[in-house]
Amino acid sequence: MKTQCQTARSSANRVGRTRHKRIGPTTAMWSNYLIPSSLAETLHLLERHGDKARVIAGGTDVVVELHRLQSCPETLIDVTNVPGLDSISSDDQGRIHIGPLVTHNDIVGSNLCRRLALPLVQACFGIGSPQIRNRGTVAGNIATASPANDTLTPLHALGAEITLESTRGQRTLSIESLVTGVRRTQIAREELIVDVSFPQLDESRIGTFVKFGLRAAQAISVVNVAVVLTLDSGIVTDARIALGSVAPTPVRAAAAESLLAGAPLSPDRIGAVASSISLAIEPISDIRGSAEFRRYMAEVITRSALEQLEAGCQADGLPMAPVMLRAKGSSSLELNQEGGVTRRTYTSGEVIETSVNGELRTFSDGNNRTLSQLLRDVAGLTGTKEACGEGECGACTVLIDGTAVTSCLVPAPQAHGRRITTIEGIQSTDGTLHPVQQAFVDKGAAQCGFCTPGFVISAVALFREKSEPTEDELKQAISGNLCRCTTYYPIIAALEAVGSGV
């Protein structure tokens, strides 16, 4: 029997509109949702369900594919409850290891990665918005294998290896051999990424990542570059230059790399290398830029990357304490310590037990849709809005265990055993508005009001994280929230008033 997703997709194919067809708000997005509690259980489930299953963690790519009918699995296997998969470490061989549940914000906030894997940190910081970075994982970015996925490029330059595991054992592939085309990899359906590793940087091995997008935030790369150089007394002994969003997979610029070897970085050498970059790429023209423009910008950003490394200023553009919009230690909190439910294995058909705005709630319906749909259609909390359904507008922002997320990309079963806070839950019990809400009223920071709940929730998360944020930090915090009425100046004024205590 076909799932509703498969039926909708078949209908879309018949009328020739698959690309534009979207799943309806009440349509089941999957038939079965499983949350195993161990790696062994996960691997057995993958073997059992095979091609009919997809692994899900952050969901920032998978849920979008489900919305667009690009993927119609019967079963989702959620690995977020498997212990030991969210670690970042280094070994005695000088390699960094990243677990499959490590998010982009985990990388951004890791002192180890900031010291020894700067290009990856820079790439992760440029992905999406704080809400997306709180959910999306590096392993998911690899598995999706979109040409514009930012982490692929630094991982190529760093020489990353990916370890896959199934019930048959483990195998390790280079990132170059793993990613074979547009959204194509060597990962078998029964395999799970269990480790991402690469040689760490040090004083003699330096690197940087530069991205060009059409916006300062929430921007898919038009082109990006990662450069890793090994130096001996100022002489380049090895060079690795990778470019992304210019071919079906990230490409190495072999000719440019050879121009760097055996000489120090200098303006003339940098100019020659940048000029040769166009030989390495075969970009396409699309809505974000023409092939000619991509060739031009590839040269520009490669020059910028090399000039940064020559000047030793490659880390200057990365904030020391970037806005995260997340609670400390929030990745796997249990609620039983505060009288709630304990997160445990979940199987389709079971009820979802969660805390919503401080009230324990049990849901027997809506477990085959997103959290935003559960909150709006089942819980009746319509303050959370849904517009894009793809995590781009921020109108559906809520807090999960104190961390800001776009609820349109969160499968409802992931609310099981969590603390959910919506716009309805931030004011005082006596009805007094939250200071952020009051500031929005005082400064006239709303017009149609549709986007306001998302902005307010993002701001609440910000002020829990930073009591006196700077203007740049205010803008970082709301970079994942869009206002079509363009009331950004009053919104900033409202947030400044909260920060100053006015």
**Mean pLDDT of the residues in the chain:** 92
Flag the least confident range among 19-23, 78-82, 90-94: 19-23
**Res. 15 pLDDT band, cuts 50 70 90:** very low
**Alpha carbons within 13 A on the beta-carbon side of 56:** 29
Neighbours of 70 (CB within 10 A): 14
The pLDDT assigned to 184 comes to 97
Mean pLDDT, to the nearest integer, of 125-138? 98
| Distance of alpha carbon 276 from the chain centroid | 32
* Most confident of the following: 97-101, 218-222, 426-430: 97-101
Which domains can be identified in the chain, with CATH numbers? 4-38+45-76 (no CATH), 88-311 (3.30.465.10), 435-500 (1.10.150.120)
Percent of the chain with pLDDT over 90: 85
Q: Of residues 340 and 428, which shows the higher confidence score?
A: 428
pLDDT per residue as tens digits for the range 305-315: 999 999 999 99
Say yes or no to pLDDT of 501 above 90.
Answer: no
429-473 pLDDT tens trace: 999 999 999 999 999 999 999 999 999 999 999 999 999 999 999
pLDDT at 274: 98
For residue 127, give both structure tokens.
């992905």
> Which pLDDT belongs to residue 18?
42
User: Which residue stretches of 31-151 are H helix?
Assistant: 39-49, 62-67, 104-108, 111-116, 118-125, 130-133, 138-144
pLDDT in tens, 52-69: 999 999 999 999 999 888
- Inform me whether the pLDDT recorded for 21 exceeds 70: no
In this prediction, residue 395 carries a pLDDT of 98
Q: What is the three-class DSSP state of 446?
A: coil
| Residue with more model confidence, 263 or 337 | 263
Query: Residue 502: what pLDDT?
Result: 57
pLDDT in tens, 265-289: 999 999 999 999 988 999 999 999 9
> Average pLDDT of 473-486?
96
pLDDT at 5: 58
**How are the residues of the chain apportioned to helix, strand and coil, as percentages rounded to the nearest 5?**
35, 20, 45
Using pLDDT thresholds of 50, 70 and 90, give the confidence band for residue 341: very low
Mean pLDDT within 72-78: 94
Q: When comparing pLDDT for 501 and 134, which is higher?
A: 134
Q: Indicate if the pLDDT at residue 246 is higher than 70.
A: yes
Q: With a cut of 70, say whether residue 26 has pLDDT above it.
A: no
- pLDDT number for residue 19: 46
Q: What's the pLDDT tens digit per position in 287-296?
A: 999 999 999 9
Determine the Cα–Cα distance for residues 497 and 493; give it in Å rounded to an integer.
6
pLDDT band at 366 (very low <50, low <70, confident <90, very high): confident
Question: In this structure, what token pair is assigned to residue 447?
Answer: 């017009």
Q: 337-345: which pairs have CB atoms within 8 A and are 24 or more residues apart?
A: 338/419, 340/417, 340/419, 341/416, 341/417, 342/417, 343/81, 343/416, 343/417, 343/418, 344/37, 344/81, 344/416, 344/417, 345/35, 345/36, 345/37, 345/81
pTM above 0.75, yes or no: yes
Alpha carbons 481 and 451: distance in angstroms, whole number: 7
